[in-house]
Structure 1
């Protein structure tokens, strides 16, 4: 029997040092058709999307209350045409109430290994792409958690270095788990910096010549060893454009730049739009609608020219221009990271008959449940103090169980009732805190390009055909077997580093001085002159 994601994470958390109890909630939505991942490709590939939301709370003693400490939001896109799955880590956040060591890295690493290993991978694909955009921010998923003195989020360079270490550990673990050895490629780019500058900023150590996990400082779309998720046009007249390479994620700088390349053009090439007075959508068309309407109709069987400059801008030029984007030149170090894995499923795991990729699997929930929990988490509760964090944890965990019991309403604690300050806007993907690094991030409100324009509240991309399968119905049995789980950790505490002649220095200490340290002054001996 294949271990589900919940049990894999609990098994990894059980190995952490210290004594505490973890309570885990894992929400994975049933697959649904999705048309926006490669919306500029011609033709658009068949794509299926699943949402992942992981919430981890901690109980330090049997008598203490639970407090949410870590949350992860991710998406899994499956493209059967190329047998690829694309796992996009959207947001990672912590509240700062976790004990040392923080469980954030263990949780994230287990999630990535679970989808990378063929023995646990829940989707029938041969290749896995893991992508993320790292940008430092004080908070993302936990409102007002930046006001908690115990939360010390990583700064911009340290956050990028953290993600690089996590993906290196994932590649190493996958290489030891999979037989025969899989093909793994690691790519990263820090926009606006060359390879030497990025090497010095991330303080990477020298790489061994025998190390198979060498980081490539470039984008992953120039390599040909592992197929790209989006298939190339099958007809002889078809040609690839930028839309076949760059995936379109929500709240991602690459997606906003793709919109400008496709819909904002000039005779000299791509340029930023000129600020104009706001217009009412009911009286005029948006730029996206105009571009779609101005495209000349093409006879059946002929190739349609790509929108705007998509056919002229290569992936190399795209990444070169990304260095000048607003999100990447705002004074903070940002990074794009990609791990590509090629490891086919074992012959015994190959399905004899191909079931529909839209069929819901046991333990999966409706995508509406994920959305409702995310809305409650980001707007209904807050985590500035321990008391408020306890209330918020009770509300969110009660909401998940209530939805599984069939309740129509979600009991949340309105922020106004506890006189909380207005939460800062959570605008970007990744924050790793938990009290491990005393480096508060100063980047609380980075400039952002405007989101793609909407038509009547929805994207102008045509919707796909409806799902032939009904939404999965969750129950308390689903809740107990797949969604909720807990584990008691009782291991030796983390050893504090010691040095000769110097007292132990706590790993989490914010003070660089140590009262127990004894300083010995050394004097140079004079060399005696020969008589």
Structure 2
């Protein structure tokens, strides 16, 4: 089942009358060595990036405008038959009519991967991980300046994520018999009772009774297998903490890995240059994979001393968690029952094999880089113009990239007038890395060479791929939302529109009378 069609079917049940246009970009899988960089041995993982852009037309004559964007990373670890779905960014422009489609889009996306019948990867265990931090904007530049955007507070954002993950868990249990499930969350700096009361008062609707949450991290439980369990007889914190882009716990474990008892935080040791004799011997050993600077596997820093409980206790003192706002880490783990015996006879495709409808990772990175650097969503007019331009860019990349000459594909600037809507001076051929999404480099990190090349070529996007898998639209014609007094919905820098509060609801304002003081003679 196509992810695009599942998302559109879920949006069709929203109240009100409007039309949605969606773009779903799923990158082909590629090898990824940075998920557990400090685990020994380091497990091989395969990464898929997903970008979902949703635009809306309030009326058939109204222009399209982006309302929601979601960025997700899906990791497949064949050694443990485990998958990790990490919700990287969720954002909204605040220009959607009530109710906001963000929650529906998130829940249908997560349900698509929790359902074995629709999930495109073959795994026995799935972990969904979310880091909730309230900010004005994530994927739509300058959208926080739009007057209609109502960003959820830090506590309401955590309650929003807990409620949505609970509904996904309840639906998964009801649909799949025999599954084992574990839901964990941590609000750094708050005790279990403080976190429970804080989210209880902030939640607009109660959590389903069939779902039970545990206050703690995923490593504190043993019901659901972990993605990277430690080796027998050894301990290393790197087996417990996965590393994601722009994630505070990833930055913290980098510091622990380069911390010593006496010197505090240290930089990685510089490699010694090869002597002339070593260089000569290396050249003479033809046909052998020789690396004179390769070190024996060993624990780094204090990774073998810090336990997961201590790690999360110390996370409470990190800058991201004590800056005056409540942040939340959420885990949803699902262990599926073993498949029937006759299903083992069917061949399982390689986790690196691209599937129909997927695009090359570089194409998705171009779209994300263009979205973050080339557009403005501070006003309705600018958002409409940005929506029209970016939707045209996606279609143009899918329609023209297959017919471009080879020398044009290596030049990232040949699409600059289309991406950024301004004339540019021709530039020399450069690496396509300049159009990748800006990332904060990890402390002491270095590029790791691929063990072996990808045996499958990158998929080539086409107009047929665009029309069959990427783009889709649906008209919604349901009764409008009944008038109610409620808060605006949003998450992770996501928001709704100011139209969520009924305009026709009468409000009575009481005047406070002040008692006059008698003047003394």
Aligned pair 1:85/2:83, yes or no? yes
Aligned pair 1:185/2:182, yes or no? yes
Do the aligned partners of residues 516 and 453 (structure 1) sit closer, same or farther apart at CA in structure 2, a change above 3 Å counting? closer
Is contact 2:185-2:328 (8 Å) kept? yes
Aligned pair 1:452/2:442, yes or no? yes
Is contact 2:258-2:265 (8 Å) kept? no
Is contact 1:81-1:231 (8 Å) kept? no
Give me the CA root mean square deviation: 3.2
CA distance in 1, matches of 2:45, 2:315: 26
Is contact 1:129-1:338 (8 Å) kept? yes
1:324 aligns with: 317
Of 383, 406, 410, the residue aligned with 2:377 is: 383
SS in 2 for 1:203: helix
2:480 aligns with: 493
2:500 aligns with: 508
Unaligned 5+ segments in structure 1 are: 274-286, 294-301, 418-448, 500-505, 520-531
Aligned pair 1:72/2:70, yes or no? yes
Of 165, 171, 174, the residue aligned with 1:173 is: 171
User: What TM-score does the superposition give when structure 2 sets the normalisation length?
Assistant: 0.80
Q: Which stretch shifts more, 210-219 or 70-79?
A: 210-219
Aligned pair 1:467/2:457, yes or no? no
Do the aligned partners of residues 85 and 309 (structure 1) sit closer, same or farther apart at CA in structure 2, a change above 3 Å counting? same
* 1:383-422 → structure 2 map (5 Å cutoff): 383-407=377-401, 409=415, 411-414=418-421
| Deviations, residues 416-470 of structure 1 (Å, cap 9, x unaligned) | 99xxxxxxxxxxxxxxxxxxxxxxxxxxxxxxx9752477xxx344444321111
| Deviations, residues 123-154 of structure 1 (Å, cap 9, x unaligned) | 00011100011111000100010111010010
CA distance in 1, matches of 2:507, 2:258: 64
Is contact 1:256-1:451 (8 Å) kept? no
2:242 aligns with: 247
Deviation, structure 1 residue 308: 0.6
Q: Which stretch shifts more, 194-203 or 163-172?
A: 194-203
SS in 2 for 1:118: coil
CA distance in 2, matches of 1:151, 1:304: 50
User: What TM-score does the superposition give when structure 1 sets the normalisation length?
Assistant: 0.79
Deviation, structure 1 residue 242: 0.4
Q: Which stretch shifts more, 460-469 or 223-232?
A: 460-469
CA distance in 1, matches of 2:374, 2:421: 5
Deviation, structure 1 residue 490: 0.3
Unaligned 5+ segments in structure 2 are: 274-294, 402-408, 410-414, 425-438, 487-497, 511-521
| Deviations, residues 402-423 of structure 1 (Å, cap 9, x unaligned) | 1111246261345999xxxxxx
Do the aligned partners of residues 66 and 129 (structure 1) sit closer, same or farther apart at CA in structure 2, a change above 3 Å counting? same
| Deviations, residues 215-240 of structure 1 (Å, cap 9, x unaligned) | 1110011211211101433xx6x513
CA distance in 1, matches of 2:206, 2:161: 20
2:106 aligns with: 108
CA distance in 1, matches of 2:242, 2:345: 28
1:420 aligns with: none
Q: Which has the higher helix share?
A: 2
CA distance in 2, matches of 1:207, 1:66: 31
CA distance in 2, matches of 1:209, 1:147: 33
Do the aligned partners of residues 256 and 100 (structure 1) sit closer, same or farther apart at CA in structure 2, a change above 3 Å counting? same
Deviation, structure 1 residue 288: 3.0
CA distance in 2, matches of 1:484, 1:374: 16
Do the aligned partners of residues 290 and 261 (structure 1) sit closer, same or farther apart at CA in structure 2, a change above 3 Å counting? farther
Of 218, 224, 227, the residue aligned with 1:226 is: 224
* 1:45-64 → structure 2 map (5 Å cutoff): 45-64=43-62
| Deviations, residues 90-124 of structure 1 (Å, cap 9, x unaligned) | 00000011010000000001111100111111100
Q: Which stretch shifts more, 207-216 or 125-134?
A: 207-216
SS in 1 for 2:419: coil
Is contact 2:246-2:440 (8 Å) kept? no
CA distance in 2, matches of 1:241, 1:200: 34
Is contact 2:45-2:75 (8 Å) kept? yes
Q: Which stretch shifts more, 124-133 or 224-233?
A: 224-233
Is contact 1:242-1:315 (8 Å) kept? yes
Deviation, structure 1 residue 86: 0.2
Of 272, 276, 288, the residue aligned with 2:268 is: 288
SS in 1 for 2:330: strand
Do the aligned partners of residues 510 and 200 (structure 1) sit closer, same or farther apart at CA in structure 2, a change above 3 Å counting? farther
Do the aligned partners of residues 346 and 101 (structure 1) sit closer, same or farther apart at CA in structure 2, a change above 3 Å counting? farther
Do the aligned partners of residues 384 and 126 (structure 1) sit closer, same or farther apart at CA in structure 2, a change above 3 Å counting? same
CA distance in 2, matches of 1:159, 1:49: 27
Of 131, 134, 137, the residue aligned with 2:132 is: 134
Do the aligned partners of residues 414 and 210 (structure 1) sit closer, same or farther apart at CA in structure 2, a change above 3 Å counting? closer
CA distance in 2, matches of 1:334, 1:209: 19
CA distance in 1, matches of 2:167, 2:371: 30
CA distance in 2, matches of 1:65, 1:92: 23
Deviation, structure 1 residue 489: 0.3
CA distance in 2, matches of 1:320, 1:476: 51
CA distance in 2, matches of 1:74, 1:27: 11
SS in 2 for 1:358: coil
Do the aligned partners of residues 230 and 516 (structure 1) sit closer, same or farther apart at CA in structure 2, a change above 3 Å counting? closer
1:279 aligns with: none
SS in 1 for 2:388: helix
